[in-house]
């Protein structure tokens, strides 16, 4: 038995088609009854009207009474049969109406499913609906045109970010050189040295921001460098080792559950940046004496998990962290360290490798970051 969902176009079409079929069926039955000449009531002769003389006349009247009774019985059977046929037709009308509604809405369901699968990372896809030039095809062509305009807009935005970040590096390098030259002069005033010391951290912050924007634009474009075998466990272990000083400075305890498992193929530099950003996020946005858990697992996908403790977070705010320049409140960050691009870069690098980043607010407090990437055996594993 089929199911109807309230409030859908399919339900309305089903009711409309069923009502139309049922009305046509009822009309046909009414016309059949009208043209059959059957009377649905019989009039029996009154007792005083029954003849009592000639036996032949009495016999004729008796036969007429029998014929009238037979007609009445036939009329009742025809009426009951018509009602039964109408009930069956009502059920059949719903089935036929549902089938017709599904047939009519099938192209729209196909368009909806295809459109839902298209994201900002694959705007080059098109519905490319074929068939007669009707309203459905016009709708699909309109959506394809919209996707084309969105793709052009996203590409222009990414090119602007990449070009602007690249072009800003030259004046930034010039300013850094001028500051260093001014501070290195033998007769420089103390105020100039102090100003240079204050400018250098700001220039370093701008340099990190530009570097992050360049990496983000590269990952969003899906531009991968040399693709080679990568084991996330090895990359994660090296990243933890490289950050031993900053981890010790905050008194953080790090638990490593790294399983080398199945490797994958990807851009080593981008994947290393992805792991480093996850660890930097865990270290920077952590409280003194906190903890970090780093784990890898393999199966149908290669997974990297970085967890931290802390206060309970709002999942709605956590969902926004993968977007550029999004941060949580001061109660978590504790400072303005960071560019706000770290997790968005992680998400873009994961997407460029066919994976995804999932951010979850832990019920006990803190944040769980999980990257899932396609598992691809390396050449050494295939030959083993």
The domain that contains 142 carries what CATH number?
1.10.287.130
How many percent of the chain have pLDDT more than 90?
Answer: 16
The mean per-residue pLDDT over the stretch 138-161 comes to 82
122 within a domain of the structure (yes/no): no
The predicted model scores a pTM of 0.57
337 within a domain of the structure (yes/no): yes
Q: What is the pLDDT of residue 203?
A: 83
As a whole number of Å, the CA-based R_g of the chain is: 39
How many percent of the chain have pLDDT more than 70?
Answer: 84
- Domain termination site, one of 220, 254, 289: 220
Q: What is the pLDDT of residue 361?
A: 92
Q: Are 378 and 306 in contact (CB under 8 A)?
A: no
Do 189 and 233 belong to one domain? no
128 within a domain of the structure (yes/no): no
Confidence at 384, pLDDT banded by 50, 70, 90: very low
Do 280 and 306 belong to one domain? yes
Q: E strands along the chain, which residues?
A: 227-230, 253-257, 264-267, 291-297, 301-308, 356-361, 367-374
Domain carrying residue 354: 227-383
Do 240 and 214 belong to one domain? no
The mean per-residue pLDDT over the stretch 34-39 comes to 61
Q: What is the pLDDT of residue 19?
A: 81
Do 91 and 56 belong to one domain? yes
Do 211 and 257 belong to one domain? no
83 within a domain of the structure (yes/no): yes
Q: Is the pLDDT of residue 308 over 90?
A: yes
Residue whose entry in the numeric block shows the structure tokens 């250098």:
200
How distant, in Å, are the alpha carbons of 260, 263, 265, 307, 360 from that of 299?
A: 12, 10, 15, 20, 21
4 within a domain of the structure (yes/no): no
The mean per-residue pLDDT over the stretch 255-263 comes to 82
The mean per-residue pLDDT over the stretch 205-213 comes to 78
Q: Report the number of distinct structural domains present in the chain.
A: 3
Q: What is the pLDDT of residue 1?
A: 42
- Domain termination site, one of 61, 86, 117: 117
48 within a domain of the structure (yes/no): yes
Q: What is the pLDDT of residue 332?
A: 42
Q: What is the pLDDT of residue 128?
A: 80
């Amino acid at each position: 038995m089929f199911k109807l969902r309230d409030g859908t176009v399919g339900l309305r079409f089903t009711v409309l088609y069923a009502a139309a079929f049922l009305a046509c069926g009822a009309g046909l039955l009414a016309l059949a009854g009208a043209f059959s000449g059957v009377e649905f009531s019989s009039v029996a002769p009154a007792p005083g009207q029954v003849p009592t003389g000639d036996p032949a006349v009495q016999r004729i009247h008796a036969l007429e009474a029998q014929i009238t009774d037979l007609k009445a019985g036939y009329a009742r059977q025809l009426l009951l049969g018509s009602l039964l046929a109408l009930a069956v037709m009502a059920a059949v009308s719903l089935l036929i109406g549902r089938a017709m509604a599904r047939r009519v809405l099938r192209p729209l369901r196909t368009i909806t499913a295809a459109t839902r699968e298209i994201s900002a990372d694959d705007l080059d896809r098109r519905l490319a609906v074929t068939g007669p030039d009707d309203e459905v095809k016009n709708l699909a062509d309109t959506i394809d045109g919209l996707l084309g305009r969105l793709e052009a807009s996203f590409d222009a935005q990414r090119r602007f970010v990449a070009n602007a970040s690249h072009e800003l590096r030259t004046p930034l390098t010039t300013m850094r050189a001028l500051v260093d030259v001014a501070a290195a002069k033998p007769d420089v005033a103390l105020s100039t040295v102090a100003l240079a010391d204050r400018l250098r951290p700001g220039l370093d912050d701008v340099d990190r921001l530009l570097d992050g924007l360049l990496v983000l634009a590269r990952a969003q474009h899906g531009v991968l460098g040399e693709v080679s075998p990568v084991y996330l466990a090895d990359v994660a272990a090296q990243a933890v080792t490289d950050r031993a000083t900053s981890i010790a400075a905050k008194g953080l305890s790090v638990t490593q559950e790294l399983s080398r498992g199945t490797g994958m193929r990807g851009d080593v530099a981008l994947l290393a940046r992805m792991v480093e950003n996850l660890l930097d996020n865990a270290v920077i946005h952590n409280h003194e004496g906190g903890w970090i858990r780093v784990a890898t697992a393999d199966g149908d996908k290669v997974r990297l998990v970085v967890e931290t403790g802390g206060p309970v977070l709002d999942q709605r705010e956590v969902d926004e962290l993968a977007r550029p320049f999004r941060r949580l409140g001061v109660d978590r960050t504790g400072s303005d360290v960071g560019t706000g691009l770290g997790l968005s870069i992680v998400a873009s690098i994961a997407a460029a490798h066919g994976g995804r980043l999932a951010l979850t607010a832990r019920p006990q407090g803190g944040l769980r970051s999980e990257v899932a990437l396609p598992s691809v055996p390396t050449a050494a594993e295939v030959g083993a």
